[in-house]
Amino acid sequence: MTTIAFVGAGSVVFTQGLLADLFDLDLGRLEIRLHDIDPERLATAAAAAAYLARHHHVTPRITTHLERRAALDGADFVINIVQVGMNAATRTDFEIPARYGLRQTIGDTLGVGGVFRALRTFPVLRALAKDIAEVCPDAWLLNYTNPMVMNVWYLKALGVRNVAGLCHSVYWTMHGLSELVGVPYDDVTYLAAGVNHQSWVLRFEHDNENLYDRLDEAIAADPELLRRVRVDMYRRLGFYPTETSEHSSEYVPWYLSHASEVERLRLPIGAYLDIVADNLATYEQTRNALKAGDPVEVEPTTEYAPQIIHSIVTGTPRTVYANLPNTGLISNLQSGAIVEVPCLVDATGIQPTAVGALPAQCAALNRSYLNVAELAVQAAIDEDPRAIRQAVMVDPATAAALPVERIWELCNDLVLAHRNYLDPSLRAALR
């Protein structure tokens, strides 16, 4: 029997999608263990899992656990989808920086929002790592929780043996590009590499044709495409970034601090707050439908976790993109940093592909991104509150918007607002 534990299963919509994909795969006997600290959300997740099992005509063993360790005991795979602080903490990450004039769109990966999301997640990850080491040391930990690079870097620093960060940005970017140039996705050959939410499409081909030429033609034919950050970055850097314009704008100093660029590129400030509200509404609709016995529509996710589990369990080889430590995988990025590369997955596990050197301009931006992540992780490892401020100081978008004294004041305000989630050693205000 294959045992899969969901940590943060109360993220019901995402849990449903992953379960639907898992139940569509031939995995033999399955045990699904759902863990969340919110009893109502956990009950909703269990009802959704039972509904999906019936719908897919499978009979997994499904158990629920308010206590994490019981859910992990002997598990083969652990899927982490926790969001520490939920909606209220996310709103804080936007509202306090906005008082300082700092614009954010998503705020979950880099910048002040990403740093503080990581800092309040790290204590939960540390406890999770301890439990895994004691009750399921050989399990694969498949992390979806953002900020991806900071979280996986921290987990590796804690000694978690088998951990990979998973994200759909490369997959959906290539789907979108394929549609834009008029070539079916399944007929496209591509290679991407970099860091999560800021990888680069290094190859984009069909039958030995460079599809970047077709992309250039599509952009020239549609001036509205020029009003996308990722298209603007592609035109200036020569390689297409693998995350949405909303995300991409936050990782560089050129856009959000300029009102004219916000207007030109149609950047939706605070967009993630709308996503949070939509997610809450969808959760409530799902909960109410399950209670009433009404049907629940669940779209396949094509996420990587179910595919990885299937490949490891059955030995079926496939290629996915994953976030793993840089052990020479990208030669001009920091050793040990978490990088995103294609990986072969089979019965032996996840095997990353060495990509070599990125184009210099792409590596330069990735290094700026990784500098922020490294300092945030170091703040937690060394219990050093100064490193929090230093991480935000070197963040490109924040440094473009605020003088250094205001950055420290902003960090003090966020430390105070999030203090109940932070390690005690990081709660001090600094001058």
> Domains of the chain: which residue ranges?
2-166+295-309
Q: Residue 147: is its pLDDT beyond 90?
A: yes
- List the catalytic residue out of 35, 57, 65, 168: 168
Whether the pLDDT of residue 58 is over 80: the answer is yes
Q: How confident is the model at residue 278 (pLDDT cuts 50, 70, 90)?
A: confident
Question: What residues are designated binding site for substrate?
Answer: 146
Q: Which residues are annotated as a binding site?
A: 146, 167, 197
Residues at the binding site for Mn(2+) are 167, 197
For 72-97, how does the pLDDT look when each residue is reduced to its tens digit (9 = 90+)? Answer: 999 999 999 999 988 899 999 999 99
pTM reported for the whole predicted model: 0.96
Q: Quick check: is 168 catalytic?
A: yes
pLDDT above 90: residue 275: no
Instruction: Tell me which of 3.40.50.720, 3.50.50.60, 2.30.130.10, 3.40.605.10 is the CATH number of domain 2-166+295-309.
Output: 3.40.50.720
b/e map 187-222, b = 16+ CB within 10 Å: ebebbbbbbbbbbbbbebebeeeebbebbeebbeee
pLDDT of residue 431: 83
DSSP code for 136 = -
Distances (CA, A) of 261 to 116, 239, 268, 325: 26, 21, 11, 35
Beta-strand runs (E) in 211-272: 240-241
